[in-house]
Amino acid sequence: MSGTFTPAPGAAPFHRQVLTQASMETRLILRNGEHLLLAVVIPMIALIGGTLAARRLDLDFANRPIDVLTPGVLALAVMSTSFTSLAIATGFERRYGLLKRLGASPLPRTGLLLGKVLALLLVQVFQVVVIGVVGLALGWDPDPGAAGILYAVLAALLGTCAFAGLGLTIAGTLRAEATLAGANLIYLLLLAGGAVVMPRDSYGSAEPLLQVLPSAALGDALRAAFLDGSLDGGALVVLALWAAGGALLAGRFFKWE
């Protein structure tokens, strides 16, 4: 009969499942106070506090402090979301059995991971907008050009993959409480001594050693892109190696329950 409802059982297309999962993950991140603290509040404090301190202390950078610090804070925002927030959230999802249940749903496990990564990228777009607006209000004057923007996006994507792999490795191998403590500790250590916000030459004799860290590589790549639109090939190679290593570690050691 015309107009009669005909049931159509079956899973939604894969791309729609991934987009739905990503939308849910994004809402959960933005509604969580701890995630917002890591994603927005701490980077904003680092940007505003660092800029004011640089002006008061008359710190000597090759460029204006705001032009040096803003790309570093964008790198910090990527690290905050793709490493610390992801590790903590995934660790507790694993502890409460949520990952096990989602893994048995029509959404394949690869789709679940893709949804998480897509959610990270959506949150990072929000972070870039907020940090960029505040940076511009403080006098940030980037001149990347089209090539510099492309280099910055490439660095952010590689940085996201690198830190996400490391975050998933920690979340998939340690207990939730240990993941919470370990992710926060690593975040603080990299924030203070990982050359992410401040350039590597600010760390004196430790500069050569820091260049192998993903935090320093991401900061270097974004500073090069936004300061003069140049490509820091060495930093991108470091990020690519960390991304490959993180993916291998997560694939080898991640446990869903």
- Return the closest-CA partner of residue 145 out of 226, 206, 54, 257: 226
In a domain, 5, yes or no: no
Quote the tokens at residue 174: 């340690």
pLDDT at 163 over 60: yes
pLDDT at 197 over 80: yes
What are 30-46's pLDDT values in tens digits?
A: 777 777 777 788 888 88
Distance CA 152, CA 141 (A): 15
Query: Domain containing 184: what range?
Result: 14-253
pTM, full prediction = 0.86
Phi-psi region of 64 (alpha: psi -120 to 50; beta: other; left: phi over 0): beta
In a domain, 1, yes or no: no
What are 132-146's pLDDT values in tens digits?
A: 999 999 889 888 888
Percent of the chain past pLDDT 70, that is, above it, reads 87
pLDDT at 236 over 90: yes
What are 72-122's pLDDT values in tens digits?
A: 999 999 999 889 888 888 888 777 776 667 666 666 667 777 777 888 888
DSSP state of 212: T
CB-CB contact of 140 with 66 (8 Å): yes
What is the domain count for the chain?
A: 1
In a domain, 134, yes or no: yes
In a domain, 7, yes or no: no
